[in-house]
């Protein structure tokens, strides 16, 4: 019996050794095949056709489109595109560029994937929450098309690194969501003569423009206008609303990202990245999209390059040497996060909780979020007056005397505490209330709750809904 067991054990060991040897041989064979494939791909002498067999199958349906053809496909394969932003716009645009066969795709983004991204940033998923967005998006793109070269830049684009990053690519897609980044990207593209496809989306609306196309030197009137030509002055600070504050429907940002990819593909296959075709930039248009509009799409003809533009006119003041010193936050009026109140005009969420629990102290809690947000969740006994109703010098919310939203039972010296979602709008409203004289010359305290309902969740109630 012992002899039989020993023989069986020896046989199992021999089988295991054989299996390991077989694995090693398979790995060696795979390496040999990979090297042979690389040699075939790199040697024009041994390869009869300009594309690999899989590429003909993969891109065949778009190559038979008359405006693309084999020449357009080869241009796509040789092209390099930089996508700034791996979010709601960057996800669909990068997916379609990768699917189309753009040879080199770079992704710039310094953020990580959050659960709140997933309803619209469709290349990320629950398993990549906490991962760098550039790594998450490239992981998906590699599974979609392994033939391409993907380059990640896990950082935010800044005046200091913009020229170095952008110079590596032929075409740029602006998939960001803030004026500071849009001006920076446009300026960099003008200085480096790169065409730019820029898009934005908020709530149910979107906007798309192709800038600096053709990418001619500053001063050449035939070159396409830049972002400064279209928007010489940044929007007022209090009118800038992000997706996090104003909301966004996923399909809306998806539509705009797909259109960005489409415009990028058109520029490439038509040979318009390097002035291969004579195109006058004065015929460019701006595309407006509204999910609730009729029609949903409208086009507006854009003006030519502005003769007074500091970036692309003949009198341009901007240079690559000056770019690193540019402060786009100051230019857009957002030198730092909103902090317009003095420390004594603000209160922490945990401090307000103590006041709320003190029955002897009467006060008013003013929630200045929009009603749609207030309906999602609200603090007990809070009064909802949206911050938008305080805009303008003749706001009904700041009428002379006692505002209608103040309860009749509230004393004239009762404190007013203002809260919003993140602690920005509440500061603005607090300041407006004081300017309107509701503080009764200092007899009534009017304070902002620092950090808003986000701070309430962090300091007071961890179960508070985060949206």
Annotated binding-site residue numbers for ATP: 88, 109, 116-120, 133, 177-178
Catalytic hit among 175, 189, 243, 332: 243
What is the chain's length? 467
Tokens representing 375 are: 């309906």
Tokens representing 24 are: 């090693």
SS3 of 297-310: the string is: EEEEECCCCCCCCC
Find residue 151's DSSP bridge partners. Answer: 106
CA distances from 57 to 52, 64, 182 (A): 9, 12, 38
Cα–Cα dist 223/215, whole Å:
6
On whether the CB atoms of residues 289 and 206 are closer than 8 A, the answer is: yes
Our answer to whether residue 189 is catalytic in this structure is no
85: left (phi over 0), alpha (psi -120 to 50) or beta: left
Our answer to whether residue 91 is catalytic in this structure is no
Q: Which residues are annotated as a binding site?
A: 88, 109, 116-120, 133, 177-178, 226, 229, 309, 312
On whether the CB atoms of residues 365 and 383 are closer than 8 A, the answer is: yes
Catalytic hit among 91, 189, 332, 420: 420
Which residue's entry shows tokens 């029609």?
295
Bridge-based pairing state of the strands 205-211 and 196-202: antiparallel
| Cβ atoms within 10 Å of 226's Cβ, excluding its own | 28
In this structure, is the dihedral angle defined by the CA atoms of residues 303, 168, 162 and 320, taken in order, positive or negative? Answer: negative
Cα–Cα dist 98/296, whole Å:
27
Find residue 347's DSSP bridge partners. Answer: 449
Cα–Cα dist 103/75, whole Å:
9
Closest CA to 268 of 108, 151, 100: 100
Q: What DSSP string describes 175-233?
A: ---SHHHHHHHHHHHHHHT--EEEEEEEBTEEEEEEESSS-PPTT-TTSPP-HHHH-SS
**Sheet containing 104-108, strands listed edge to edge, beginning at the edge strand earlier in sequence:** 149-153, 104-108, 80-84, 171-174, 196-202, 205-211, 285-290, 297-301
| Cβ atoms within 10 Å of 10's Cβ, excluding its own | 10
So which residues are the catalytic ones?
A: 243, 420
């Amino acid at each position: 019996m012992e002899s039989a067991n020993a023989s069986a054990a020896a046989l199992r060991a021999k089988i295991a050794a054989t299996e390991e040897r077989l694995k090693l041989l398979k790995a060696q064979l795979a390496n040999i095949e990979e090297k042979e494939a690389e040699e075939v791909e790199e040697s024009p002498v041994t390869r009869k056709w300009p594309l690999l067999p899989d590429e003909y199958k993969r891109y065949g349906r778009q190559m038979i489109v008359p405006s693309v053809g084999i020449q357009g496909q080869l241009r796509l394969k040789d092209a390099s595109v930089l996508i700034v932003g791996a979010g709601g716009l960057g996800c669909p645009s990068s997916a379609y560029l990768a699917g189309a066969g753009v040879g080199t795709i770079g992704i710039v983004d310094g953020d990580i994937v959050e659960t709140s991204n997933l309803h619209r940033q469709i290349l990320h998923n629950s398993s990549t929450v906490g991962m760098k967005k550039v790594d998450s998006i490239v992981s998906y793109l590699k599974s979609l098309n392994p033939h391409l070269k993907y380059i990640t830049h896990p950082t935010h684009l800044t005046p200091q690194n913009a020229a170095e990053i952008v110079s590596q690519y032929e075409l740029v897609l602006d998939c960001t969501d803030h004026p500071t980044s849009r001006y920076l990207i446009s300026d960099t593209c003008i200085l480096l003569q790169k065409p730019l496809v820029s898009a934005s989306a908020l709530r149910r609306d979107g906007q798309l423009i192709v800038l600096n196309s053709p990418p001619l030197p500053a001063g050449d009137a035939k070159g396409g206008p830049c972002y400064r030509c279209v928007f010489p002055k940044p929007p007022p600070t209090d009118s800038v609303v992000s997706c996090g504050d104003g909301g966004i429907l996923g399909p809306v940002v998806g539509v705009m990202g797909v259109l960005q990819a489409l415009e990028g593909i058109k520029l490439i296959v038509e040979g318009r990245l390097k002035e291969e075709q004579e195109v006058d930039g004065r015929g460019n248009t701006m595309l407006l999209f509204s999910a609730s509009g009729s029609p949903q799409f409208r086009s507006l003809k854009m003006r030519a390059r502005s003769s007074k533009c500091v970036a692309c006119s003949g009198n341009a003041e901007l240079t690559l040497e000056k770019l690193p010193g540019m402060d786009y936050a100051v230019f857009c009026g957002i030198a730092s996060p909103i902090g317009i109140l003095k420390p004594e005009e603000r209160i922490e969420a945990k401090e307000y909780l103590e006041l709320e629990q003190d029955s002897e102290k009467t006060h008013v809690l003013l929630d200045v979020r929009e009603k749609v947000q207030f309906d999602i969740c609200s603090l007990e006994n809070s009064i909802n007056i949206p911050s938008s109703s305080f805009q303008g010098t003749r706001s009904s919310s700041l009428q002379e005397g006692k505002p209608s939203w103040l309860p009749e039972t509230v004393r004239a010296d009762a404190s007013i505490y203002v809260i919003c979602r993140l602690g920005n709008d509440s500061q603005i409203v607090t300041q407006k209330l004081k300017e309107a004289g509701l503080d009764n010359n200092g007899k009534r305290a009017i304070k902002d709750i620092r950090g808003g309902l986000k701070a309430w969740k962090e300091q007071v109630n961890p179960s508070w809904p985060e949206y």
